Structure 1
Amino acid sequence: MLGLPLGAGSDHEGSGGTPADAVSGLVVLFCVVRAVRRKERPLTRTAYVVLGLPVVAVAVAALGADSLPNALEGLVRYYQILVLVPAAVLLLVRDRHDFRLVAWALVGLGLWQGSLGVYQYLTGTGASYAGEDVRAVGTFGATDVMGMSTVVAYGLVCAVGLGLAGRAPRERVLALVCALGLVVPLALSFSRGAWIATAVVCVLQIVLAGLRRAGRLLAVGAAAAVVLVGGFGVGTSMLQERLSSITQVTAAPDQSVTDRYTMWAAAIDMWEEHPATGVGLKNFPAYRDSHASIALSAGSDVAGAGAAFRRQPLLSPHNMYLLVLSEQGLLSLCAIVGGWAAMLVCGARRLATAHRAARGLDCALIACGLLTWQLIDFAYADIGGPSTVLTAVVFGLVAWWALAPAALSEAVAER
């Protein structure tokens, strides 16, 4: 469903459902009905604790919302992304074979969205960037410029994991070719946060796969980057300026960076006034102007990819940690981040076991890589938009590797 176009005029910037959301709801309902019919406890105690940590904290924050619709919308969204869909994926993935199928599906979705993004760049039909309609956004449109970069990055992380530790040589070669292909649309997304997170995670995956091959693969990756950037013309002046701006965000920030810093400061100010439970779910926009400095602009420019020019209001701090802290307070932040930390620790322990046993290392690299990518990216982004449901699926894959008994069970036959 995430491969379907939403329409040029669609506005899904953090609110409103999408077909993918509806499908995720049906999947959750199916899992509930199946568990009731089988009269079984589908999750382990550890899984109940880790996935259940945000339930009470988010419910408390919902009580502080300024309206019932906002409370219900925020509650359902957080439960969907952090609890329900991850639990459903955890239940539906039976073994490492199923895990790899989902990982390849993410690679395929990334290639589809990425190919559309490259076409948009080459034909000038993408979202507006620096006065030209060249920003690759796939089917997500100009109102969700982070959507395609997120999907492509997920696919790239999965492809690298499969390429480093896949079961068959042909599978490894195919995965690495896919990974190299996904680098181009990721670059053309002009998303600095996605670039940073992906670069860190891919290097980490290579190192974790074995120091013996790390140097060789890093050299191959560097050579491929030189060919892509120099040989095929990916290194346009706009791309080079975007890359150089990463090191200049404090010395000479552009307006988007200034807006982000201003909203971060506003979010911290909100939390300082309401440290325990925040200002309430979906209440950041209502408190923004009273806590932000005059450096904040009226909104970001949105145009291209079939959409007419308009100003998009800044409704969140574009930092998941600060969004939770400002709207839900320290209680929810500790609960949500605590759950992620628990999955990261459990996943890393199983990665070490898989490395020693030489079984399931590809799944380990993918799961730990996806979670690490998401935790880094959340410093530059938050939940919202059509691609958010895919984040829930990623959390489900991570939860399966970290918490499911079948992840390392020797009784599970490799198909």
Structure 2
Amino acid sequence: MAGGALAALPPRRPGWGGARAAWPLVPVLAVIALLTVPAGDAAPGGSAGTGTVADAASGLLVLVALVRLVREGARPLTRTAAVVLGLPVLGICLAAITSYDPAASLPGVARYIQVFVLVPAAVVLTVRSRRDFAVVAWGLVGLALVQGAVGVTQYLTGTGASYMGEDIRAVGTFGPTDVMGMATVVAFGLVAAVGIGLGTGSARERTAALVCAGLLTVPLVLSFSRGAWIATVLACAAQLVLGGVRRAGRVALAVGALAVVLVGGLGIGSQLVKERAASITQVADAPDQSVTDRYTMWAAAARMWRTEPVTGVGLKGFAYHRDSNASLALSSGSDTAGAGQAFQRQELLSPHNMYLLVLSEQGLLGLVALGGSWAALLALAVRRLPGARRAGRGADCALVAVGLLLWQVVDFVYADIGGPSTVLTAVVFGLAASWALAPSPDGWGTARHG
């Protein structure tokens, strides 16, 4: 059966607008908005907890989606959507069952199913039109602007996380124990803004989106996150190419000019940014300790996988098996300080590579299941772009969806799930899936049902 996730759901009436039409999106927007709440302090030697108010809101989102389905009596998902969104469950459950300690794996089961199954499915069932998609996409941009403003203020006032002996690293409200949090949020907003700016909306909307994208480059640079920089450049480059070669050239020139003004002309973080960018090419010749630790943990994850190649060592098993598989090059942890928190040593509990984390804990079966789900979403989103162009609408949705998915799959080479910002990853997967699995390439509202 061809089509997307909502083929059985009735289209909205043309005159159904205002607050009544917008209320179903409130749970999704609440998850996004609550990520502005400052993260709690991490336990000594640990990492920031994941039980945040945004996580609680994601649970409410799932509950509301289920209640709506029961009230409407509609078929929840088509076969295609059920397979794509439900595929990760296979590897997650098998890894838990075959784990050396199944009881210890249960929190991991809940987290993975929340992030990669339940919340994305709830977003798919909630976002039912191009208008819905645009509202959520602009919500990502708004969150990024708020967190980015906090981050820039931290840099300018010396109240950020510690970096090179100074409290200048922009981390937003996520604190020094989740230095990737603000970078992830800002990057999502920037990619969404670029997709909207390259789309088929009004000139005012496209201009506003590109202005927001330009503004968001500043906090992204000041996050000093090499992985986020690489993922953002690749995702935006792909959006520019898919949006049209001529437009890509104009936008690239504008972005380049903005970067020259901000970094070269105004000197925003110029020297530190230059050193950080140069370190990307020094990972093999003269790596710093953070890169050495990452390579060491990657090697440890590979050894775990070779021990249990099919189902892995079990969810939450990487930290337990780390020391027995890591070389002596691994440090005892990373130092965190600043942004209102005292100095502490943060233990290294993951390989900071999502693919190797899944491979070590869920084995080849888990990686194929989870990675296959992401690859299917990306392929479906890209495939529908030509249809959206022919229809004259929906290209902005396609570019946002493709950009967000590309950013995430690239960033997962340098990061994994964990920390308060993880729930936003679930929302992003759901938003992209809502386009990839939507009923028709020219908009949700034109789909037939029955």
- Which residue of 127, 137, 152 corresponds with 1:93? 127
After the TM superposition, which residues 364-379 of structure 1 pair with which residues of structure 2 at under 5 Å, given as runs? 364-379=398-413
Equivalents in 1 of 2:231, 2:353: separation in Å? Answer: 14
1:3-28 C-alpha deviation (Å, 9 max, x unpaired): 11124557883654110000000110
TM norm structure 1 = 0.96
Residues 9 and 76 (structure 1), Cα distance of their counterparts in 2 relative to 1, 3 Å cut: closer
| Equivalent in the alignment of 1:243 | 277
Q: CA deviation at 1:65?
A: 3.9
Q: CA deviation at 1:203?
A: 1.3
In 2, are the aligned partners of 1:9 and 1:306 still within 8 Å (CA)? no
In 1, are the aligned partners of 2:152 and 2:219 still within 8 Å (CA)? yes
| Equivalent in the alignment of 1:272 | 306
Equivalents in 1 of 2:91, 2:279: separation in Å? Answer: 38
Equivalents in 2 of 1:412, 1:98: separation in Å? Answer: 14
| Equivalent in the alignment of 2:56 | 22
| Equivalent in the alignment of 1:310 | 344
Q: CA deviation at 1:166?
A: 4.2
| Equivalent in the alignment of 1:216 | 250
- 3-state SS, counterpart of residue 335 of structure 2: strand
In 2, are the aligned partners of 1:268 and 1:326 still within 8 Å (CA)? yes
- Which residue of 180, 202, 205 corresponds with 1:171? 205
Q: CA deviation at 1:218?
A: 1.1
| Equivalent in the alignment of 1:356 | 390
Equivalent pairs: percent with the same residue? 64
Residue-pair matches, total: 413
- Which residue of 25, 34, 39 corresponds with 1:6? 39
- Which residue of 228, 233, 237 corresponds with 1:194? 228
In 2, are the aligned partners of 1:321 and 1:378 still within 8 Å (CA)? yes
| Equivalent in the alignment of 1:76 | 110
Amino acid paired to 2:229: W
Structure 2: segments with no counterpart, 5+ residues? 1-33
Aligned Cα root-mean-square deviation (Å): 1.6
| Equivalent in the alignment of 1:31 | 65
| Equivalent in the alignment of 1:301 | 335
In 2, are the aligned partners of 1:95 and 1:406 still within 8 Å (CA)? no
1:14-44 C-alpha deviation (Å, 9 max, x unpaired): 6541100000001101112222333322111
- 3-state SS, counterpart of residue 165 of structure 1: coil
Q: CA deviation at 1:406?
A: 5.0
Structure 1: segments with no counterpart, 5+ residues? none
Q: CA deviation at 1:66?
A: 4.7
Equivalents in 2 of 1:8, 1:54: separation in Å? Answer: 31
| Equivalent in the alignment of 2:183 | 149
In 2, are the aligned partners of 1:400 and 1:407 still within 8 Å (CA)? no
Amino acid paired to 1:300: S
In 2, are the aligned partners of 1:159 and 1:178 still within 8 Å (CA)? yes
TM norm structure 2 = 0.89
Equivalents in 1 of 2:93, 2:176: separation in Å? Answer: 32
In 1, are the aligned partners of 2:105 and 2:317 still within 8 Å (CA)? no
Equivalents in 1 of 2:166, 2:207: separation in Å? Answer: 36
Residues 411 and 388 (structure 1), Cα distance of their counterparts in 2 relative to 1, 3 Å cut: closer
| Equivalent in the alignment of 2:370 | 336
Mean Cα deviation higher: 211-220 or 111-120: 211-220
| Equivalent in the alignment of 2:84 | 50
**Is structure 2 residue 287 aligned with structure 1 residue 253?**
yes
- 3-state SS, counterpart of residue 241 of structure 1: helix
Mean Cα deviation higher: 203-212 or 248-257: 203-212
- 3-state SS, counterpart of residue 204 of structure 2: helix
- 3-state SS, counterpart of residue 405 of structure 1: coil
1:40-63 C-alpha deviation (Å, 9 max, x unpaired): 221111000001101122011112
Mean Cα deviation higher: 84-93 or 64-73: 64-73
Equivalents in 1 of 2:414, 2:249: separation in Å? Answer: 30
Equivalents in 1 of 2:119, 2:445: separation in Å? Answer: 27
Mean Cα deviation higher: 220-229 or 145-154: 220-229
- 3-state SS, counterpart of residue 143 of structure 1: helix
Equivalents in 1 of 2:64, 2:212: separation in Å? Answer: 33
